[in-house]
């Protein structure tokens, strides 16, 4: 069921022979419902309505927008909040139907302080942001091999974090273990430590004794570590050929492995052509310096925005090159003599690496969808 509000003093029809009025939609997305708004070319609200976040609801929402377009002109585009989260299904449906979709951000705090907060208000704000061109980002394409890489990286990232946490727990238990056991285990390398603990066979019948319980606990933690390692290796076996097939030029770059390449592909999406320049890609990764000039002072500051996972991937490439690439080490030495700090040198190198990565991203239009008239 939908509810529509049509202010009688703002409705405008298209006169015969006149220039057709462009109608712009805006959608505030949530888990269970989506609220849509339609505005005309002058930004006047034609109506708002709420729809369920289901496939039937997507069809009803698009039909509602098109009815406004039939009454007042033609549907120009739709601004959608959260195209990569709650709005992912709606975005796919609209694009499959030939509707141009732009990604819009939620209203800032200042706007919400003055206008209040409700789903219809946010939907109207999304429509106005799309209409003005203030936000015109192309949604990230979530199909094809790149989307498969993103999905496989989700459990891998969780397993890597869980494995690191297990190792921290093992070391913490060893610290409080009896002196003889602690003296035996502390000097061991991590790999030998895990193998030794997993192969141990403590007597479980005596777990009332803390000296026995600590051995049981360490064995169980070591087996958890081994299980998580197997999960990571299984996912790596799937990801390695998938990444190599999707972006061979990216993998060919110095310091780029499967994990780093996978993250950069996920950041760019299956349609990297939506990123119009290498400067835009640098900003997306949070490595583009932000102007911070005032008066006679002209300077730039570190960017705290962008995709921090992509920023970390570029950082790993820089660390690898600083250690193994002679050209990078020569550059670092020269900049050090010029008075640059190590942090400043790393920032410069990340900006340079972002330029290389952008040029190596796969360029192909897999999903050229027509735009509805």
Instruction: For residue range 257-293, list pLDDT tens digits in order.
Output: 999 999 999 999 888 888 889 999 999 999 988 777 7
> What pLDDT is attached to residue 108?
66
- 335: number of CA atoms within 13 Å, CB side? 17
For 28, list phi and psi in degrees, rounded to 5. Answer: -100, 115
> What pLDDT is attached to residue 292?
73
Look at phi and psi of residue 89 and say left if phi exceeds 0, alpha if psi is from -120 to 50, else beta: alpha
- Lowest-pLDDT choice from 34-38, 118-122, 351-355: 118-122
Higher pLDDT, 365 or 95: 95
> What pLDDT is attached to residue 326?
94
Displacement of CA 223 from its chain's centroid (Å) = 32
Higher pLDDT, 63 or 6: 63
Is 15's pLDDT higher than 70? Answer: no
Q: For residues 346, 351, 353 and 359, what is the CA-based torsion angle, rounded to 10 degrees?
A: 180
Tokens describing residue 72 = 């007042």
pLDDT in tens, 174-196: 999 999 999 999 999 999 999 99
Is 53's pLDDT higher than 90? Answer: yes
> What pLDDT is attached to residue 22?
85
Q: What does the domain layout of the chain look like in residue ranges?
A: 21-132, 144-246, 250-360
- 11: number of CA atoms within 13 Å, CB side? 11
DSSP 297: B
Tokens describing residue 271 = 């349609």
- Average per-residue pLDDT for the chain: 87
> What pLDDT is attached to residue 143?
80
The Cα 102–Cα 124 span in angstroms is: 14
Is 171's pLDDT higher than 60? Answer: yes
Distances (CA, A) of 294 to 108, 288, 299, 301: 24, 19, 8, 12
Indicate the pairing of strand 45-52 with strand 33-39: antiparallel
Identify whether the C-beta of residue 295 lies closer than 8 Å to the C-beta of residue 357: no
Is 155's pLDDT higher than 60? Answer: yes
Judged on CB neighbours under 10 Å (0-12, 13-18, 19+), 32 is exposed
With a pLDDT cut of 70, the percent of the chain lying above it is: 88
For 80, list phi and psi in degrees, rounded to 5. Answer: -125, 130
> What pLDDT is attached to residue 110?
65
Displacement of CA 63 from its chain's centroid (Å) = 30
Q: For residues 179, 185, 186 and 192, what is the CA-based torsion angle, rounded to 10 degrees?
A: 180
Distances (CA, A) of 212 to 172, 183, 186, 225, 321: 16, 16, 18, 20, 47
Is 9's pLDDT higher than 60? Answer: no
Position 372 confidence tier, pLDDT thresholds 50, 70, 90: very low
- Lowest-pLDDT choice from 42-46, 107-111, 175-179, 358-362: 107-111
Read off the pLDDT of each residue in 73-79 and give the average, rounded to a whole number.
88
Q: How many CB atoms lie within 10 A of CB 70?
A: 12
Long-range contacts of range 281-286, CB-CB < 8 Å, 24 or more positions apart? 281/354, 281/357, 281/358, 281/361, 282/351, 282/354, 282/355, 282/358, 284/310, 285/310, 285/311, 285/314, 285/350, 285/354, 286/310, 286/311
pLDDT in tens, 199-245: 999 888 888 889 899 999 999 999 999 999 999 999 999 999 999 99
Is 348's pLDDT higher than 50? Answer: yes
Identify whether the C-beta of residue 3 lies closer than 8 Å to the C-beta of residue 54: no
> What pLDDT is attached to residue 112?
66
> What pLDDT is attached to residue 224?
97
Give the CATH architecture of domain 21-132. 2-Layer Sandwich (3.30)
Judged on CB neighbours under 10 Å (0-12, 13-18, 19+), 228 is buried
> What pLDDT is attached to residue 181?
92
In total, the chain counts a number of residues equal to 373
Position 141 confidence tier, pLDDT thresholds 50, 70, 90: confident
DSSP β-bridge partners for residue 28: 35
């Amino acid at each position: 069921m939908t509810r529509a509000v049509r202010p009688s003093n703002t409705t405008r029809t298209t006169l015969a022979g006149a220039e057709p009025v462009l109608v712009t939609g805006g959608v505030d997305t949530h888990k269970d419902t989506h609220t849509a708004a339609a505005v005309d070319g002058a930004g006047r609200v034609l109506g708002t309505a709420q729809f369920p976040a289901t496939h039937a609801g997507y069809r009803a929402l698009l039909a509602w927008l098109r009815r406004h377009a039939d009454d007042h002109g033609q549907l120009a585009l739709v601004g959608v909040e959260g195209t990569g989260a709650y709005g992912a299904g709606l975005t796919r449906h609209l694009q499959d139907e030939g509707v141009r979709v732009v990604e819009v951000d939620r209203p800032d705090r200042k706007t919400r302080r003055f206008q209040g907060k409700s789903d219809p208000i946010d939907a109207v704000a999304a429509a106005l942001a799309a209409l003005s061109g203030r936000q015109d980002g192309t949604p990230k394409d979530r199909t094809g091999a790149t989307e498969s890489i993103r999905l496989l990286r989700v459990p891998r990232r969780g397993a890597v974090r869980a494995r690191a946490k297990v190792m921290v727990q093992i070391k913490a238990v060893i610290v409080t273990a009896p002196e003889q056991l602690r003296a035996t285990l502390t000097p061991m390398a991590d790999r030998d430590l895990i193998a030794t603990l997993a192969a141990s066979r403590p007597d479980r019948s005596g777990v009332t004794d803390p000296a026995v319980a600590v051995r049981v606990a360490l064995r169980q933690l070591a087996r958890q570590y081994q299980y998580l390692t197997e999960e990571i290796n299984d996912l790596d076996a799937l990801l390695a050929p998938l990444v190599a097939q999707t972006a061979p030029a990216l993998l060919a770059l110095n310091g780029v492995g499967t994990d780093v390449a996978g993250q950069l592909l996920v950041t760019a999406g299956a349609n990297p052509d939506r990123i119009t320049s290498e400067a835009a890609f640098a900003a997306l990764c949070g490595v583009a310096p932000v102007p911070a000039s005032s008066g006679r002072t002209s300077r730039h500051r570190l960017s705290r925005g962008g995709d921090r996972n992509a920023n970390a991937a570029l950082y790993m490439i820089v660390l690898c090159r600083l250690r193994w690439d002679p050209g990078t080490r020569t550059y670092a030495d020269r900049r050090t003599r010029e008075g640059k700090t190590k942090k400043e040198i790393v920032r410069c190198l990340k900006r340079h690496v972002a330029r290389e990565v952008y040029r190596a991203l796969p360029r192909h239009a897999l999903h050229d969808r027509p735009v509805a008239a």
